[in-house]
């Protein structure tokens, strides 16, 4: 059994915070195109939610990963996709490698304030010419004595306009692309760091997503996470937690929009009966509900594999793939049943339709997930173990 009574206490506490401190403000934040990350994160951090599975000595709760998974699932109860995504960046995208491989110094300087919510973190991997193809990034951090001097740029950076520091992937050598990169914690206030612009997006409207430039930015080498040249490996490990988090965060929104669609179609009349009374509608909603439960089972199985110390790469990739495609399927089907109202910005299905589309793109596109799965199956072209 993945969740115990202790887990359920954490779930109820988080639900209360979301209901009282977050959801009442979401519509305003969506309209403004930004939510107050520092205010929200301080409230979550003060209650321990930003460090459930982070080390106690740096302010975390020191709990097993299942608690972090529970949080990923529960923040899906926030009535937009942007705020959960920003929280996930803080807990499961910018900090896992830091918590696992960082020195005591770098953990105290960057992890501890991220866990407390006093600082906002972002993750800097993607570039205009290197999204899913991480190995081809161009940002460099050349060695200069005890410092790195960073030049380049990052794109589509969630929390980027409000972040205090960025977990940056940069080339620190001239060797092979998978062994010449390092992860470096870079304070956003350093000279030469420029938030060039915030990006206007289809969905995730209240998330500040930025393009960031680095012009001869000097940071001490002690800000590096782990060993030099291991950044690509660390980031691939970090991606697994990000992808599992992203899949788990999709569960409650999908369930909620199905429930909202049931309520709407039950009350909407056409040709003398409710829309819900049409078999094609209630059967389709039953199918979608079943698909959500199947996704939940896959996510939980991947989490159990991770907690057992096994490689969850394939299952996490499957969960990420399925979550993105199921979000597209649920949003499209439910919007259709809302009819003309489904095309209005004021209805919840419209926001879900916009927000859910990102899951198939961010954190590794569907096609990347399929390649990872095919590699595990031995069917990727060029593999020697194909059958």
DSSP string, 98-145: HHHH--HHHIIIIIHHHHHTSS-EEEE--BTTBSS-GGG---EEEEET
Q: How many other C-beta atoms are found inside a 10 Å radius of the C-beta of residue 192?
A: 15
Among residues 30, 73, 241, 242, the one annotated as catalytic is 242
Environment class of 31 (CB within 10 Å of its CB; exposed 0-12, middle 13-18, buried 19+): exposed
Token pair, residue 123, equals 């993750």
Annotated catalytic residue 216 = no
What is the spatial distance between Cα 71 and Cα 75, in angstroms, rounded to a whole number?
6
DSSP string, 241-277: HHHHHHHHTTHHHHHHHHHHHHHHHHH-EETTEEGGG
Residue located via tokens 């919007």: 335
Q: Is 301 helix (H, G, I), strand (E, B) or coil?
A: helix
Q: What share of the chain is helix, strand, coil (3-state, %, to 5)?
A: 55, 15, 30
Give the active site residues. 242
């Amino acid at each position: 059994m993945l969740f115990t009574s202790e887990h359920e206490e954490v779930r109820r506490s988080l639900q209360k915070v979301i209901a009282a401190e977050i959801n009442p403000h979401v519509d305003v934040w969506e309209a403004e195109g930004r939510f107050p990350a520092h205010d929200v994160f301080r409230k979550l951090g003060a209650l321990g939610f930003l460090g459930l599975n982070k080390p106690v000595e740096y302010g975390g709760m020191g709990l097993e990963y299942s608690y972090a998974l529970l949080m990923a699932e529960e923040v899906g109860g926030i009535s937009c996709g942007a705020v959960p995504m920003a929280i996930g960046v803080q807990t499961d995208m910018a900090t896992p490698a830091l918590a696992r491989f960082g020195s005591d110094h770098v953990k105290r300087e960057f992890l501890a304030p991220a866990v407390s919510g006093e600082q906002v973190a972002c993750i800097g991997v993607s570039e205009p010419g290197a999204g899913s193809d991480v190995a081809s990034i161009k940002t460099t951090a050349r060695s200069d004595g005890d410092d790195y001097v960073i030049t380049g740029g990052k794109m589509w950076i969630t929390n980027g306009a409000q972040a205090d520091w960025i977990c940056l992937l940069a080339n620190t050598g001239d060797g092979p692309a998978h062994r010449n990169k390092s992860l470096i914690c870079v304070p956003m206030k350093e000279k030469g760091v420029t938030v060039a612009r915030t990006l206007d997006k289809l969905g995730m409207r209240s998330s500040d997503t930025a393009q960031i430039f680095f012009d001869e930015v000097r940071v001490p080498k002690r800000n590096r996470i782990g060993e030099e040249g291991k950044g690509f490996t660390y980031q691939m490990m970090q991606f697994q937690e990000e992808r599992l988090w992203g899949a788990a965060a999709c569960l409650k929104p999908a369930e909620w929009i199905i429930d909202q669609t049931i309520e709407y179609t039950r009350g909407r009349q056409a040709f003398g009966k409710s829309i819900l009374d049409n078999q094609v509608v209630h059967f389709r909603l039953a199918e979608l509900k079943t698909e959500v439960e199947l996704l939940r089972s896959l996510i939980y199985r991947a989490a159990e594999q991770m907690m057992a110390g096994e490689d969850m790469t394939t299952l996490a990739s499957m969960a990420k793939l399925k979550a993105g495609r199921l979000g597209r399927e649920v949003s499209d089907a439910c919007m259709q049943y809302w009819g003309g109202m489904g095309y209005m910005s004021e209805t919840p299905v419209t926001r879900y339709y916009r927000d859910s589309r990102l899951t198939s793109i961010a954190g590794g596109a569907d096609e990347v997930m399929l390649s990872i799965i095919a590699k595990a199956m031995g069917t990727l072209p060029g593999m020697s173990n194909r059958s």
